Each structure stands twice: as C-alpha cells, then as structure tokens.
Amino acid sequence: MIVNIQNTNERLSVYQALQDQIDEASRDKRQVGVLLIKLQDFNDLEAVVGFVSLELISKRIQARLLSVAKDHRSVIQLSLDTFIVVIPKMLNIGHLKIVAESLSRVIRSAVKFESESIELKPSIGISSSEDSEHNGQLIYENALIAMQRSYSEGSYCVAFEREFREQMKRDWDLKKDIELAIRDNQFELYFQPKVELKSMKVSGAEALIRWNHPSHGLITPHNFIPLSEQSGQIQIITSWVVKSAIQHLSDILKENPQFNLSVNISVNNLNSPDLVYLLQDTLSIWDVSADRLTIEVTETAIMSDQKSSLEQLEKIRALGVNISIDDFGTGYSSLAYFKHIPATEIKIDKSFIENLLVDPQDRNIVALIIFLAKQFELKVVAEGVETKTSVNEICNLQCDFAQGFYFSQPLPYNDFIEWMKSFSQ
C-alpha cells in the first residue's frame, strides 16, 4: 500500500507507526533505525516510459526492498519513489549503513523493462531512535534531512547528525540575507588577472563575487552560490554580476582596449533565455563590444541539461560573447562535446596544475588537453598557477594563458587597477 504523505491523516499514521515500533523497542531496550529512500530523478522517467510503467517499476523496486527487509511490516511506501525501511533492532549506525548499502545495491541493479534497461539511483537518509528523542515524527524528519543531504552531496547514503539542523537553520537565514544583500549593495566583484604567457602581459581578468556580510564578514562564493542555486536566487545574483562586471569592463577598456573580462555563469542561468537578453542589453547600455566579454561555464553545467544549455550557448556565441569551459577535466571531458559546444576557450582545472610537477599522469593530462584544444582552435588557460616552476612547465607545454596566486590573488577593483599598472612596468 502507498501512503500519501501529503495527506495529514496519513502522515500522522506514518508517525504513529514509527512511534509504535519505537515504543515496542524501548520496552525490550532496543534501538530502532530508519532508512528513508528516495529514487533520484524518478519522476523524469514518466516522460520516457509513461505513468503506468512508472507504477510497475515502482512495484518492482518495492519487491526488491521487501526481499532485503524480509519483514513486511518494516517497509512503508510513501509515494512511487519514496520508501521507509525500519530496522526494529539496530546495533549501531555502522549496521544501518551496511543495510543501506545492500538496499542501494538492489535498487541500482537495472530494471529490465520492455526493451529498456532502467538504472535507478537512491538517496538514503539514516536516523535512529536514539538521536531522535525516541519520537516517531522526529525519527522521520531526521531521516528526511539526512536524505536531502545525501541527494545534494551525490552520495548514496548519509546518517543524520545533530549539526545538520543547525546548518539548515544557517542556510535558511543566509537565503533570506541574499535578498537584503542585493538591496543594500553588499556584493562586490574581485578581479583576478589572466596573463598571456607568450608576452607575459595581462590579457584580461576573471570577475569573482564576494559578499561583505554585515555580521559574518567576507563570505566566499562556495558558501552561498550553491545555496542560491537551490533557492533560485542565483538569477538575481547573476544579473547583478553581469551588470556590475560590464560596467567595470567599460571603464577598463578606456585605458586598455584589448582587455577581456570573464564572468562565471551558473547551470541554472542556462535553462532560461533571460541570460541572452541580459548580456545583450547590458553590453549595449555600456557600449561594450561583445568580444571583450567571456562567460565561463562548467562542463557539468552544460551536460546537466544539454539541449537547453547548448541552445542558450549558441545564442550567446551569436552575440559575439566568448565562451570558456571552466574546470575542464573534472567532468565528462568527452571529445564529442567539443564538436557541439560553441566554446572559444577551455580552462584546465587547478587540480591538474597543482599536481603538474609531482604526478606524471597529471602532466600527461595537461599536455593532452592543450593538444586537443589546439586541434579545435580553442585558447587554453591554466588556472591555479601558484609557482614559477608551474609557469615554466605550462609554457613548455605551449599553454596560452595562466591565472593564479603566482601572479595575483583576486583583488578589489581599485587594487586590481593598481596591480595592473605595476605589473606592466
């Protein structure tokens, strides 16, 4: 039977069922473990196989879970893609993780269906009666928090920890603060120079966002960009970044007409046509030629919704804006993509540059990426260049541009302008 968790009464009955198991266990001094399982991207399958088939696939998964859980009472199905498995006599969290692993294994093994072979991936959240105050509702909610974390981390299972709740509260507050930040001008762009290796001249810069938070101080993008992507606020952040970057760029171009500025674009920005209009309008307002601007997108961003992303990228390229593939080498890096992505540049991820001198494999990868890029007439940037020896090495490998702490950290605008003057002297 599927319990509809959206329905209040049914939801309460799930909490009660969990409470009953906890109470029963408490009498025998046992602990109860809960595994909340969600099948990733299950609803997307509907468009491929249709709803009736979706139900059949869900039933097969349920049967597999029952075969592992054995006791029918211990599997509750909440919806087509969400299940609870109750372990009435858990030993410790390690025990629950072992069960999660076997559940994950049975879910992952392909479901053969008509002519299709469907592979599903679960996200599993684990909680125990001990860290849920022996409360049926709390044990469910803790497993849910852990499951959401497992999904966002891309790992198959996560066990609940108390600090997850505090983290959620902090994230929640931060999301609220992002709106104020735009209004109160708390964001700032820092600039990190990009140097052309042949001439050792500054060819441009990458704009990197910083948040001057009134109570937390300077916050780096890793602490709020992923959150703003989840909440949809990345759209307003990108809009601010693009406007501010192009405004600064128009100033730099007055002194340095060959300068090129890169801005980072998130996966979510490629899903709507807004970005194309934003770029077009802002370039025209500041009278900046499109070829002075580069947008950086990661391979993973492009691949997550290939069709829509490629369409948007084609339109952006048609404006004359350059396109750089960021963190290159960490994603799919398949040759076939080169043919389709209208890129003008690739940036070799800093993890390869870091190991260039110590790991011959990484040196080979860098050499190969540079070779490939040249075949496709793409410019190559090495990022994360920290030492003179790395500069020499990438020069030997015929890399075109470099960026990294060796030249400069990302700097506030005025400091960056000063730095450029002193570098060219």
| Site residues for ligand C2E per CB under 6 A | 192, 208-209, 220-222, 225, 241, 264, 266, 296, 326-327, 350, 384-386, 404-405, 410
| Under rule CB under 5 A, residue 264 binds Ca ion | yes
- List the one residue out of 90, 81, 179 whose CA is nearest residue 123: 81
Burial of 133 (0-12, 13-18, 19+ CB in 10 A): exposed
Structure-derived torsion over alpha carbons of residues 157, 163, 166, 170, reported in degrees to the nearest 10: -70
Say whether 69 sits in a helix, a strand or coil. Answer: helix
Q: Nearer Cβ to ligand C2E, position 69 or 189?
A: 189
Q: Nearer Cβ to ligand C2E, position 40 or 250?
A: 250
Within 256-305, residue ranges assigned H as helices are 274-285, 299-304
Number of residues that bind Ca ion (CB under 5 A): 4
Least distance to ligand C2E, CB of residue 279, Å: 14
Both tokens of residue 342? Answer: 């209208």
Least distance to ligand C2E, CB of residue 130, Å: 38
Least distance to Ca ion, CB of residue 316, Å: 16
109 contact partners, CB below 8 Å, separation of at least 6 = none
| Under rule CB under 5 A, residue 326 binds Ca ion | yes
Q: How many CB atoms are located within 10 Å of the residue 49 CB?
A: 15
Both tokens of residue 324? Answer: 């750089």
Say whether 272 sits in a helix, a strand or coil. Answer: coil
Least distance to ligand C2E, CB of residue 346, Å: 13
Q: Nearer Cβ to ligand C2E, position 156 or 416?
A: 416
| Binding-site partner at residue 376 among ligand C2E, Ca ion, none, CB < 5 to 8 Å by type | none
| Binding-site partner at residue 204 among Ca ion, ligand C2E, none, CB < 5 to 8 Å by type | none
Q: Nearer Cβ to ligand C2E, position 180 or 218?
A: 218
Least distance to Ca ion, CB of residue 386, Å: 14
Distance CA 409, CA 192 (A): 6
| Binding-site partner at residue 345 among ligand C2E, Ca ion, none, CB < 5 to 8 Å by type | none
**Region 288-307 residues binding Ca ion, contact defined as CB under 5 A:** 296
- List the one residue out of 187, 135, 168, 125 whose CA is nearest residue 25: 135
Least distance to ligand C2E, CB of residue 405, Å: 4
Residues that bind Ca ion (CB under 5 A): 264, 296, 326-327
